Amino acid sequence: MRKKFTTKIVIIVIIALLAPLTSYTIFQFAEREKDEALIQSIYTQQLNSILFSVNQYCWDVFNSWVSEIQSVCKICKSMTENSAGIQAVLELMNNTPSITGIYIQKKQIEGFLAFRESGSGKRPNVKYEKERLKELIEKSSNELGRIVNHAQDGYIRPFITPWKLGDNREINLLLFPLINIKMEKEETPLAGIFIDNISFVNNIIARKFDEMDEGDFIFGVREMNTDEVIYSNSENNNIKFERDEKLWILPSLKLLIKIQGTTLDQISRTRTQRNLVYIVLVNFVLIFGLYYLIRNVYKEMRLAQMKTDFVANVSHELRTPLALIQMQAEMLEMGRVRTKEKRMHYYQTIMNESVRLTQLINNILDFSRIESHKKEFNLKPTDISALVTNTLEIYRFHIEQKGFVLQKKIAKDLLVIEIDEEAVKLAIVNLLDNAIKFTKDEKRIIISLNKQEKAVVVSIQDFGIGIPESEHKKIFDKFYRIGDSLVHNTKGSGLGLSLVKHIMEIHKGKVILKSKPGEGSTFSLIFPVA
């Protein structure tokens, strides 16, 4: 009944503690795809933010060129070839490798146009390029008009178009209005910047990438017309970039980015798996802690129960001999025992019960002293053969009275060993008492003493009920007794074997049990010999 109650408590505790944890773990496993998507979304936003900042930087660089040209044109009224304004514009072009040419409209349609020398030392045909510009402006007048209107409202958005020069360089022309500068007919003039794609990538974009590079990302730029990666900060040519974004001022180029050494999918999956591993580890720790807690609670409950059984059993053990002593003493006192033989029997019974009572009390007192480390042992050189023989002689009458046959196999000429005589006697008597208690049919006890390698062994063998192997270690625990039914059916305190174990530990020896159910038991006290 008690076991069922304990089991119920354990089950309730397990459910109360593990149910929420298990539910949370299952929920995390079920939600892992959403978690992966969330993590991937966060990393994607981070990559997009980086590309946005690069795009914004390029836009700011272009706006700085626009502002410089507008300032020059506003200050310098004369824009002839030798004027200070034109010289300032040429200086801007020559000092900025990414600018291949600059166009400034001096009057309707026509204007100033200059180009940088190409790598071969040649300059494009200015007259021819002016004609092309004239055609482009006329053809795109509507769109250019909208751009002018936006500029007057405070937002400058360039008109962007690819531009092929004779040397086949990839060039883009960016036309923009010159605000607060008027031509004839009150029209807003235009200006243009010819940007070399490769030079812009190498001198502007790459520099920004280098500033941002801390080893966490791989950057690149792709030419959309050819689908060729024209710049990368990695030597690997087979990189699959994860995010891309068009360059605002040069739409034929795409900015590329990838996380170094991994992918977004791998990162999100790894993060999710790591979180799940942490959860599993926490589960394991909590389950282990729960197991340890329940195990200790169970042990404490079992110990408390054994103490209760011990008190009940010892009370019974004390009452029985006291009742017999009292009853038979009263019989003798009242003179009701007529024959001498009967009186001697009563005297012997009183003596035996007194001895048993004394042994029980001594066991309890000795165990208490040993547990509290107050027991003093007097180890001195002792003839172990004589000690065993004397102990058996003292205990022989009790053994034979119980109907047992005692067989001795005591080797002679054994070494004198250092032991506490009283403690070893107590250990032997406890083992003999155990043999008597748990033997029903074949009432025979064999006690042997012999010398083994570096040890002297005292063995006590009975032919009683035996002990299951699962109980071999437990029977040496204090208060422990095999099976609830035996607690009341067999006399004893549950301290005897625990006391024997303590005594052997004091002697730096050990007690070994060999037993099988139905085949009896053999307890061996092993004393080391130096």
Residue that wins the pLDDT comparison between 149 and 110: 149
How does DSSP assign 404-453, residue by residue? -EEEEEE-SSPPEEEE-HHHHHHHHHHHHHHHHHT--SS-EEEEEEEEET
Interval 13-21 mean pLDDT? 67
Residues 293 and 200 occupy one common structural domain? no
Specify the higher pLDDT residue, 35 or 208: 208
Q: How far is CA 227 from the centre of its chain?
A: 46
Judge whether 364 lies within some domain. Answer: no
Same domain, 68 and 212: yes
**Chain centroid offset of residue 484 CA:** 43
**Residue at which a domain ends, from 323, 341, 362:** 323
Q: Does residue 195 lie within any of the structural domains?
A: yes
Mean pLDDT within 191-210 = 92
In this structure, are 289 and 157 located in the same domain? Answer: no
Final residue belonging to a domain, choices 323, 347, 368: 323
C-alpha to C-alpha distance for 372 and 364, rounded to whole angstroms: 12
Give the pLDDT of residue 253. 94
Indicate the DSSP class of residue 140: T
- Both 252 and 286 in one domain: the answer is no
pLDDT at 103: 92
Residues 194 and 133 in one domain: yes
Cβ distance 435 to 445 under 8 Å?
yes
Instruction: Name the band, by pLDDT with cuts 50, 70 and 90, for residue 268.
Output: low
Non-local (6+) Cβ contacts of 156 within 8 A are: 63, 66, 150, 176, 177, 179
Which tokens is 291 given? Answer: 């197991």
Domain final residue pick, 261, 279, 294: 261
- In the numeric block, which tokens belong to residue 283? 């589960």
* Model confidence at 16: pLDDT above 70: no
Between residues 490 and 235, which one has the greater pLDDT?
235
Element (H, E) at 290: helix 264-333
Same-domain status, 246 and 271: no
Q: What region, left, alpha or beta, does residue 396 occupy, with left being phi > 0 and alpha being psi -120 to 50 degrees?
A: alpha
Mean pLDDT of 422-430: 87
- Report percent pLDDT > 70 for the chain: 77
Q: Is the pLDDT of residue 42 over 50?
A: yes
Q: Is the pLDDT of residue 97 over 80?
A: yes
- Pair 314, 397 in one domain: no
| Total domains in the fold of the chain | 3
Spatial separation of the C-alpha atoms in residues 444 and 403, rounded to whole Å: 9
Q: What is the pLDDT of residue 167?
A: 65
User: Minimum mean pLDDT among 91-100, 122-131, 180-189, 482-491: which range?
Assistant: 482-491
Q: Could you tell me the residue range of the domain that residue 179 belongs to? A: 64-261
In 322-352, which positions are buried (b, 16+ CB within 10 angstroms) versus exposed (e)? eebbeebeeeeeeeebeeeeeeeebeebbeb
Is residue 125 located within the same domain as residue 229?
yes
Residue 48 within any structural domain of the chain? no
In a domain, 205, yes or no: yes
- Given strand 243-246, what is the order of strands in its sheet? 228-232, 217-223, 253-259, 243-246
Pick the closest to residue 400 from 448, 355, 432, 438 (CA basis): 432
253 plus 270 within the same structural domain: no
Are 96 and 228 within one domain? yes
Question: Can you give the CATH number for the domain in which 395 is found?
Answer: 3.30.565.10
Q: Residue 354: inside a domain, yes or no?
A: no
Whether 340 maps to a domain, the answer reads: no
- Please list, in sequence order, all residues whose beta carbon lies within 8 angstroms of the beta carbon of residue 280, skipping any fewer than 6 positions away: 25
Average pLDDT over residues 475-495: 61
Average pLDDT in the 276-299 region?
78
Residue 334 lies in a domain: no
